Chains A and B, each alone.
Chain A
Amino acid sequence: MVGVSFLTFSSFNVIPGDACVLRLGFGSTPETLEDCREQHGLNRALFPISIHSDAPWLHVQSSQYGDWLWDIPAHQDLGRSLAEGGAEVSTELERRLPITLELMIMTIIFALVLGVVPGVLSAVRPNTPIDWLARIASVLWLSIPSFYLAILMITFGLLWFDWTPPQFGSGYKPFMDDPWINLQQFFFPSLVLSVGIAAVIMRLTRSAMLEVLRNDYIRTAWSKGLRERTVVWRHALKNALIPVITLVGLQVGALIGGTVIIESVYNLNGVGKYTLEAIIRRDLFVVQSLTLMFAFVYVLSNLMVDVAYAFLDPRIHYN
């Protein structure tokens, strides 16, 4: 994660422009830029260690990256936004993270339901209308860009039902404040975000199931006279799910990327939208903190996948 933050910081400083340039705009002069950078601490050295041509060769100094990194464990401080009136990043995250987490969790639930069920049905009934339908649906879901689908859904919701998501008029409502409104806020964004992932899950589930269904132990299960439901859902699916769960873990990265777009279209002020806005206005410490958080979520999700293996496959043990 430190490596990710280092790479982010380095690349962010390579691209031209900074928050002061954007804030001061076309009328900025070298003097005002210097003033602004001084105010925001952007005139400090980039890294805590610099190399000199004469002794002492290594020089430790106050720096943008070093101070930011040190403040996280030392002061539980992720820094401040260079725009938005200097708002604390941690305060913003506290407000926005639940939105994105809820969106991601609902998306994964939708993706699993929309992917696994048709995938299993498709494998159990190959070359039937159910199989064809599921395969066509998966191709469609993969083909439609999520932002386009989101706009279509908003437009048709408006045309047919004169309805738009409630957050368009009132802003975000937490689940604990109003569960019904909250679910209305997240239902369609999650659905839109899930279809692309569901399509991949469906195809993988189908192929994994087809492979598992040909195994000897499945034949044995059939010959014992077990019901189809037991054979499919208990014996076959559990084994077929291992690659699917691996895929879900990997899809978390794509999901994070997807939230950036979907949160903007559906006006959910979560971390994804925050990221996009921060990048556009070169809000260095916000981008740094968010990247760090995304890396953490990604690592955590893959750790959870590893733990899930042990549950799905008794042969796997972690000592």
Chain B
Amino acid sequence: MEGSNYWARWNRRRISRRALLAGSATAALGGAAALVVGCGSDSNGPGASPGASRAPQQYGTPKPGGTITQGRLLNVLGIDPHIDLTGLDVDARIYSYLYSWQPFNETAIFNNLAESVEMPSDDHTEFIFQLRRGVKIQSQEKNPAAGEEMNSEDCKQSFVRRGTAITAPDKRFPLRISGTRQPDPVALGAAIQTPDPYMFSFKMSSPFVPAFREMSGLTWAMVPAKVIEKYGTFQADGLGQNAFGSGPFMLEEFRGTERIVLKRHPEYFLNPRPWLDQITYIIITEPQSLLAAFDSGQHDVNGALMNRAQAEERQKNPNLIVVKAPTRFYPVIHFKHRPPFDDIRVREAFDLAIDRQEIIDLIWDGEGLYNGPVQWLMERFSLPQDELRASMPFDQVKARQLLSAAGYENGIEAKMKIPRVPGAPFIADLSSLLKNQLAQVGINLLLDEVELGTFIANVILPGNFDLAFFPNLPYDEPDRPLSFYHTRGVTGVGNWNNYTNLEIDKLIDSQSVDFDEPHRIQTILEVQRMMIAEHGPQITMPGGNFYAARHDYVHFPFEFGVDIGAGALKPPKDSANIQIDDIGPESSDIYSAEEA
């Protein structure tokens, strides 16, 4: 077992934080943009994207003090970490979490509230957490737990609240703790033991590999029990607009459509962190205005999504640091499993008619990689690029032959529904490109762009589509994207595509309880090959990069992304060998070399 499963690496603290902190902007922008639609993976911000492929910049000793203003494209509708999904990157700076996660190495880092974890049972169902002493809750006037120490009861109540939150789409993990079929706060609370203030434990009813990853997610914030009691219900002055945590920053002002101000938490347990006195988020929902604000120096960190041309323009400014990181959007086309798309020949023809290289060239500025059912960023679980390219050829002749063989020699007409997502023009661009490509083999798409709310309510949820295009959201654990292909779907009540393949179901189920990592990887690769051969119910498309910029006096402990022009990114293979200090990556490590 040593070295061959997830748990063997738990206690290794001297690991890379470069990769973990890499792409915090990716998480903030890509993740937030994804979360605006009300769902998304429970992605861990500081570790939500691959790290740099160049050597980290050396800044020397961080400089305490100063403030940073960061632009932000999307509104924060609320900052309740258990309920609201649009402000998770802000929550990450306010609350403590049990531990952090390095998604691409599947490694836990115990640099936060939990000091360690034990898993005494052979089937990995029992967790015993030892909590760090001296983690002080922020002292604010309205905080009922001001100045107190975080303890096991806080963790228990946070688990109960998060585990039964209505906004959590995937409740498989908390239901295994409560042992119930439906979310039940009483049963969940009873299943969590708190023998002393610094220990809490629980046992799941059945094994679940993604559980350990899930607990590190940003929605699993540890909120003081007294705060939950006073502010935890849905109310005007509740946790949606207030925040009382034990993380590096305290909420000073919250106007989610305008401005969010965080102040330094002076009693933060990782003292002297955080280095900054203040972080201010300015929300500007018009991308051009947001970029202009950064260019004129009103923002220290750019919040707008830039394309390559915009990034290269800003790279000419020697006072800016411009980097790129992979977009974590993951474009797919959903098929409804009914005529004509229940005929595999039609689906294959559809797949063969897509010129993925052209998508990379035109939509992703020539930089991009193929995606299988598991996104390429999860390198250990995704199929190799060579294999993906070989299994997703562009062949218009064969596509036409297959259509003829299926009885559609005169072609097919189909309506593809696409969502109108604010700030994501590439959805319409990519849809138009697909329409052109497919028309060349006789598949005539009628693009039906609908407003996002309508798309969710009227298209996806009831499965009301023949074809639906959507950028899938970032996932850090392969179980989630695979579950879209499962008969039960992600929510457990059925997939949107009416697709059933019992063999695929069996493999998805087996990998979710398989703690032998090499074996699990083989299962995941095998099931992906089966999915690709099925040409549905999702057809996956390449993903590209996005670009971020900041003024050079803003220092992140390690770069996210790489210098632009360095080619498509790959997850760092060597990151596990990079030595860092004992405390591990910490989101408060950002600092400014200039006084406010």
Contacts from A to B (Cβ < 8 Å): 15-18, 21-32, 35-36, 39-40, 80, 83-88, 151, 154-155, 158, 162-164, 166, 168-172, 264-267, 269, 273-274, 277, 280-282
Once A154-B292, A269-B257 are accepted as A-B contacts, the answer to whether A83 and B78 lie under 8 Å apart by CB is yes
A282 to B454, CA, bound (A): 10
Of B24-32, B56-64, B184-192, B293-301, the segment with at least 4 beta carbons within 8 Å of chain A is B293-301
A281 to B39, CA, bound (A): 14
A260 to B216, CA, bound (A): 40
Chain B window 70-88, contacts with chain A (Cβ cutoff 8 Å), 1 for yes, 0 for no: 0000010111100011000
Are B167's CB and A163's CB within 8 A? no
A274 to B255, CA, bound (A): 12
A264 cross-chain contacts in B, Cβ below 8 A = 285-286
Are A266's CB and B37's CB within 8 A? no
7 extra A-B contacts, CB within 8 A, seeds A26-B37, A31-B182, A40-B234 = A23-B167, A85-B80, A155-B288, A162-B297, A169-B282, A171-B259, A273-B257
A31 cross-chain contacts in B, Cβ below 8 A = 182
A280 to B420, CA, bound (A): 11
A88 cross-chain contacts in B, Cβ below 8 A = 236
A172 to B253, CA, bound (A): 14
A164 to B461, CA, bound (A): 42
A36 to B240, CA, bound (A): 15
11 A-B pairs with CB atoms under 8 Å apart are A18-B457, A27-B169, A32-B167, A39-B234, A87-B236, A154-B289, A168-B289, A169-B69, A169-B299, A171-B258, A280-B452
Are B296's CB and A25's CB within 8 A? no
Are A169's CB and B38's CB within 8 A? no
Once A155-B292, A171-B282 are accepted as A-B contacts, the answer to whether A277 and B75 lie under 8 Å apart by CB is yes
Once A83-B77, A168-B289, A281-B77 are accepted as A-B contacts, the answer to whether A17 and B258 lie under 8 Å apart by CB is no
Are B491's CB and A29's CB within 8 A? yes
A26 cross-chain contacts in B, Cβ below 8 A = 37-39, 169, 456, 460-461
A239 to B458, CA, bound (A): 55
Task: Considering the complex, give the chain A residue whose CB is closest to the CB of B35.
Answer: A25
Chain B nearest Cβ from A281, distance in angstroms: 7
Chain B window 30-59, contacts with chain A (Cβ cutoff 8 Å), 1 for yes, 0 for no: 000000011110000000000000000000
CB-contact partner of B288 in A27, A154, A171, A269, under 8 A: A154
Are A85's CB and B240's CB within 8 A? yes
Task: Considering the complex, give the chain A residue whose CB is closest to the CB of B284.
Answer: A267
B577 cross-chain contacts in A, Cβ below 8 A = none
Residue among B69, B257, B289 with the highest chain A CB neighbour number at 10 A: B289
Are A169's CB and B461's CB within 8 A? no
Are A158's CB and B296's CB within 8 A? yes
Chain B nearest Cβ from A189, distance in angstroms: 11
A31 to B168, CA, bound (A): 12
Are B493's CB and A23's CB within 8 A? no
A281 to B238, CA, bound (A): 20
A87 to B237, CA, bound (A): 7
A21 cross-chain contacts in B, Cβ below 8 A = 38, 453, 456-457, 461
Is B222 located at the chain interface by the 8 A CB criterion?
Answer: no
A282 to B457, CA, bound (A): 11
B299 cross-chain contacts in A, Cβ below 8 A = 168-169
Is B250 located at the chain interface by the 8 A CB criterion?
Answer: no
Once A24-B167, A264-B285 are accepted as A-B contacts, the answer to whether A169 and B236 lie under 8 Å apart by CB is no
Once A26-B460, A86-B238 are accepted as A-B contacts, the answer to whether A17 and B454 lie under 8 Å apart by CB is yes
Task: Considering the complex, give the chain A residue whose CB is closest to the CB of B169.
Answer: A27
B284 cross-chain contacts in A, Cβ below 8 A = 168, 267
Are B289's CB and A266's CB within 8 A? yes
Are B282's CB and A17's CB within 8 A? no
CB-contact partner of B167 in A25, A266, A267, under 8 A: A25
Chain A nearest Cβ from B548, distance in angstroms: 18
Residue among A18, A23, A39, A83 with the highest chain B CB neighbour number at 10 A: A23
Contacts from B to A (Cβ < 8 Å): 37-40, 69, 75, 77-80, 84-85, 166-170, 182, 234-236, 238-241, 255-259, 282-286, 288-290, 292-293, 295-299, 422, 451-454, 456-458, 460-461, 490-493
Chain B nearest Cβ from A50, distance in angstroms: 24
Chain B nearest Cβ from A83, distance in angstroms: 4
CB-contact partner of B235 in A24, A83, A86, A171, under 8 A: A86
Chain A nearest Cβ from B441, distance in angstroms: 30
A29 to B175, CA, bound (A): 15
CB-contact partner of B239 in A32, A85, A162, under 8 A: A85
A31 to B238, CA, bound (A): 23
A280 cross-chain contacts in B, Cβ below 8 A = 422, 451-453
Are B453's CB and A168's CB within 8 A? no
B80 cross-chain contacts in A, Cβ below 8 A = 85
A274 to B381, CA, bound (A): 43
A169 to B284, CA, bound (A): 10
Task: Considering the complex, give the chain A residue whose CB is closest to the CB of B422.
Answer: A280
CB-contact partner of B295 in A29, A36, A158, A172, under 8 A: A158
Are B241's CB and A85's CB within 8 A? yes
Once A26-B37, A27-B39, A158-B296 are accepted as A-B contacts, the answer to whether A151 and B282 lie under 8 Å apart by CB is no
Chain B nearest Cβ from A159, distance in angstroms: 9
B295 cross-chain contacts in A, Cβ below 8 A = 158, 164
CB-contact partner of B234 in A15, A30, A86, A267, under 8 A: A86
Are A32's CB and B166's CB within 8 A? yes
A87 to B37, CA, bound (A): 20
Are A29's CB and B39's CB within 8 A? no
A31 to B80, CA, bound (A): 21
Once A25-B167, A169-B293, A169-B299 are accepted as A-B contacts, the answer to whether A269 and B457 lie under 8 Å apart by CB is no
CB-contact partner of A80 in B37, B236, B286, B453, under 8 A: B236
Residue among B169, B296, B299 with the highest chain A CB neighbour number at 10 A: B296
Are B258's CB and A172's CB within 8 A? yes
Are B286's CB and A164's CB within 8 A? no
CB-contact partner of A164 in B296, B451, B454, B493, under 8 A: B296
A269 cross-chain contacts in B, Cβ below 8 A = 255, 257-258
A169 to B297, CA, bound (A): 8
A151 to B182, CA, bound (A): 50
A164 to B293, CA, bound (A): 6
Chain A nearest Cβ from B457, distance in angstroms: 3
Chain A nearest Cβ from B557, distance in angstroms: 25
Are B78's CB and A84's CB within 8 A? yes
A86 to B242, CA, bound (A): 12
Chain A nearest Cβ from B290, distance in angstroms: 8
B288 cross-chain contacts in A, Cβ below 8 A = 151, 154-155, 265
A168 to B296, CA, bound (A): 10
A151 cross-chain contacts in B, Cβ below 8 A = 288-289
Are B38's CB and A23's CB within 8 A? yes
Are B38's CB and A29's CB within 8 A? no
Chain A nearest Cβ from B300, distance in angstroms: 10
Chain B nearest Cβ from A259, distance in angstroms: 14
Are B257's CB and A25's CB within 8 A? no
B458 cross-chain contacts in A, Cβ below 8 A = 16-17
B240 cross-chain contacts in A, Cβ below 8 A = 84-86
Task: Considering the complex, give the chain B residue whose CB is closest to the CB of A80.
Answer: B236
A25 to B451, CA, bound (A): 14
Are A168's CB and B293's CB within 8 A? yes
Task: Considering the complex, give the chain A residue whose CB is closest to the CB of B484.
Answer: A26
B290 cross-chain contacts in A, Cβ below 8 A = 168
Task: Considering the complex, give the chain A residue whose CB is closest to the CB of B492.
Answer: A29
Task: Considering the complex, give the chain B residue whose CB is closest to the CB of A19.
Answer: B453
A25 to B86, CA, bound (A): 12
CB-contact partner of B454 in A16, A171, A274, under 8 A: A16
Task: Considering the complex, give the chain A residue whose CB is closest to the CB of B295.
Answer: A158
Chain A nearest Cβ from B17, distance in angstroms: 31
A170 cross-chain contacts in B, Cβ below 8 A = 282, 298
CB-contact partner of A22 in B170, B182, B297, B452, under 8 A: B452
